[in-house]
């Protein structure tokens, strides 16, 4: 309901704004130390947030990327699937493919040897490819009424940096997370055991679909998995602990801003959805946005992530209208869900089995809240998200 969505967002809003105010104080301090007596404005935010980040964490993106060649990260996601869900990826060099750059894998169950899915990766930009990264299926899975089992063909697409003559494709941290994210959607598709094709894999409610993808991102920076794949492309050396610690510390940097922006966009979206103009009334978009910002107590240093006229989620189609909150809602689910793994061990077999059987295999064949509770043992709470973003 709109009330439940609003209530959820407001629980996140207050601690996010509090942190944003602290960030602004830190940035003002930084500017002052540089001899600039300024008030931070929305257009200063990225600039000073970067300055503070460099000062606090001293992270060099190039140094980090050297440990994340595309092939290594792909090994990382396959190791993850092997350890958690007991499936193995074997390349099929002679399999038919829609482009020579695609790599095709036979996915099999390690114990039984049974065929589970075909998985394709298509990671580099081409002139005819659209931007971004995504997962999709060439063929869905089902169990037909006569008992015939159809296994799926799933693919992951990306637009990652190409290799050069002397350097392999090296991924940025964002790109590493993207690969894990799309692979999480991929697993949802590959491991599905739902009977109906219309309910299998990622054919679930929109505010549930990002759980498998977002939860998978959590493993990307876990030392226990990093030691299996994050090797320097030149020296072959494993990523040093010190660098991993820095990455983890830096991960909550600027979360006041990011969370306020995300929750603000969602709240504005919901406000538009609830707004009922009188017949023939002309809507003053500017005034409406200001009124919403005032009511929320939006910090003056932060602007709306999207101004309404180009907020495509709301006005581009009805697919995401009043649905922008689903990103944060999915994060409530993934953060809470991952805390179970964190408690029991990130490769705990019992927790992994439960996630596989209750979430990944079920698709949309049952009510998502029931599925979540069966896996987690309770309904999701926002606390895990707030902890994960470093807001409490
Ligand atoms: Zn996604």
**Average pLDDT of the segment spanning 370-387:** 96
**Average pLDDT of the segment spanning 26-38:** 95
Whether residues 277 and 232 share a domain: the answer is no
Classify residue 261: in a domain, yes or no.
yes
Whether residues 175 and 281 share a domain: the answer is no
pLDDT exceeds cutoff 80 at 16: yes
Whether residues 242 and 264 share a domain: the answer is no
Q: How far is the CA of 213 from the centre of ligand 1 (A)?
A: 6
Whether residues 195 and 244 share a domain: the answer is yes
What distance, in Å, lies between the first and last C-alpha atoms of the chain? 27
Q: How far is the CA of 96 from the centre of ligand 1 (A)?
A: 27
Q: How far is the CA of 326 from the centre of ligand 1 (A)?
A: 11
Report the phi/psi class of residue 86: left, alpha or beta, with left for phi > 0 and alpha for psi in -120 to 50: left
Whether residues 173 and 113 share a domain: the answer is yes
CB 108 within 8 A of CB 143: no
Whether residues 42 and 161 share a domain: the answer is no
The values of phi and psi at residue 88, to 5°, are -120, 145
The domain tally of the chain equals 2
Whether residues 52 and 123 share a domain: the answer is no
Whether residues 134 and 16 share a domain: the answer is no
Q: Which of 283, 315, 347 is the last residue of a domain?
A: 315
pLDDT band for position 199 (cuts 50, 70, 90): very high
**Residue 176 maps to which CATH number?**
1.10.1370.40
Classify residue 260: in a domain, yes or no.
yes
- Give CA torsion, residues 76, 82, 85, 90, to 10 deg: 100
Annotated active-site residue 182? The verdict is yes
**Average pLDDT of the segment spanning 50-57:** 91
Whether residues 110 and 229 share a domain: the answer is yes
The region of weakest confidence among 135-139, 165-169, 206-210, 223-227 is 206-210
Whether residues 107 and 171 share a domain: the answer is yes
Classify residue 270: in a domain, yes or no.
yes
pLDDT band for position 382 (cuts 50, 70, 90): very high
Classify residue 337: in a domain, yes or no.
no
Q: How far is the CA of 206 from the centre of ligand 1 (A)?
A: 10
Q: How far is the CA of 87 from the centre of ligand 1 (A)?
A: 22
- What average pLDDT does the chain have? 95
Summarize pLDDT for 225-237 with one digit per residue, the tens: 999 999 999 999 9
**Average pLDDT of the segment spanning 123-144:** 94
Q: Which of 230, 250, 270 is the last residue of a domain?
A: 250
Classify residue 353: in a domain, yes or no.
no
Rounded distance, CA 265 to CA 307, Å? 9
Give the Cβ contact number of residue 279 at 10 Å: 4
What pLDDT, on a 0 to 100 scale, did the predictor assign at position 61? 85
Classify residue 386: in a domain, yes or no.
no
Q: How far is the CA of 286 from the centre of ligand 1 (A)?
A: 31
What pLDDT, on a 0 to 100 scale, did the predictor assign at position 319? 76
Residue 217 lies in domain? 69-250
Summarize pLDDT for 317-348 with one digit per residue, the tens: 777 889 899 889 999 999 999 999 999 999 99
Whether residues 25 and 104 share a domain: the answer is no
Q: What angle do CA 107, 113, 117 make, to 5 degrees?
A: 25
Whether residues 76 and 133 share a domain: the answer is yes
What pLDDT, on a 0 to 100 scale, did the predictor assign at position 313? 83
pLDDT exceeds cutoff 90 at 59: no
Summarize pLDDT for 175-194 with one digit per residue, the tens: 999 999 999 999 999 999 99
Q: Which of 182, 217, 301, 331 is catalytic?
A: 182
What pLDDT, on a 0 to 100 scale, did the predictor assign at position 31? 96
Classify residue 138: in a domain, yes or no.
yes
Q: How far is the CA of 338 from the centre of ligand 1 (A)?
A: 17
Distances (CA, A) of 129 to 161, 165, 170, 226, 316: 14, 23, 20, 31, 21
Q: How far is the CA of 71 from the centre of ligand 1 (A)?
A: 21
Classify residue 274: in a domain, yes or no.
yes
Q: Which of 300, 315, 330 is the last residue of a domain?
A: 315
Percent of residues, the chain, with pLDDT higher than 70:
100
């Amino acid at each position: 309901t709109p009330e439940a969505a609003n209530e959820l967002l407001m629980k996140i809003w207050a601690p996010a704004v509090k942190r944003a105010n602290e960030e602004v104080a830190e940035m003002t301090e930084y500017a002052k130390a540089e001899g600039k007596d300024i008030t931070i404005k929305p257009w200063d935010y990225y600039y000073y947030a970067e300055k503070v980040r460099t000062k606090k964490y001293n992270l060099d993106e190039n140094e980090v990327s050297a440990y994340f060649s595309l092939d290594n990260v792909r090994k990382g996601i396959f190791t993850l699937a092997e350890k958690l869900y007991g499936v193995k990826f074997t390349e099929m060099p002679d399999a038919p493919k829609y482009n020579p750059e695609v790599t095709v894998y036979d996915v099999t169950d390690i114990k039984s040897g049974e065929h589970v899915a075909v998985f394709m990766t298509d990671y580099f930009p081409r002139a005819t490819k659209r931007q971004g990264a995504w997962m999709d299926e060439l063929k869905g899975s089902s169990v037909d009424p006569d008992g015939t089992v159809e296994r799926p063909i799933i693919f992951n697409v990306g637009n990652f940096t190409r290799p050069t003559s002397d350097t392999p494709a090296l991924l940025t941290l964002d790109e590493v997370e993207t690969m894990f994210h799309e692979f999480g959607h991929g697993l949802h598709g590959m491991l599905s055991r739902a009977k109906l094709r219309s309910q299998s894999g990622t054919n679930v409610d929109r505010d549930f679909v990002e759980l498998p993808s977002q939860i998978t991102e959590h493993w990307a920076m876990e030392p226990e998995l990093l030691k299996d794949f994050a090797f320097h492309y030149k020296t072959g050396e494993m990523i040093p602990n010190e660098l991993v610690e820095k990455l983890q510390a830096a991960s909550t940097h600027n979360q006041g801003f990011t969370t306020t922006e995300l929750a603000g966009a969602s709240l504005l979206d919901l406000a538009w959805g609830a707004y009922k103009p009188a017949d023939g009334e002309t809507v003053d978009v500017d005034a409406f946005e200001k009124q919403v910002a005032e009511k929320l107590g939006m910090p003056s240093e932060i602007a709306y992530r999207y101004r309404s006229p180009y907020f495509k989620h709301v006005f581009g189609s009805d697919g995401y209208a009043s649905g922008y909150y689903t990103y944060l809602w999915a994060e409530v689910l993934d953060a809470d869900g991952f805390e179970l793994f964190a408690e029991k061990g990130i490769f705990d077999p019992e927790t992994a089995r439960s996630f596989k059987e209750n979430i990944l295999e079920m698709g949309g064949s049952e009510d998502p809240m029931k599925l979540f509770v069966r896996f987690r043992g309770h309904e999701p709470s926002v606390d895990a998200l707030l902890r994960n973003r470093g807001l409490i």
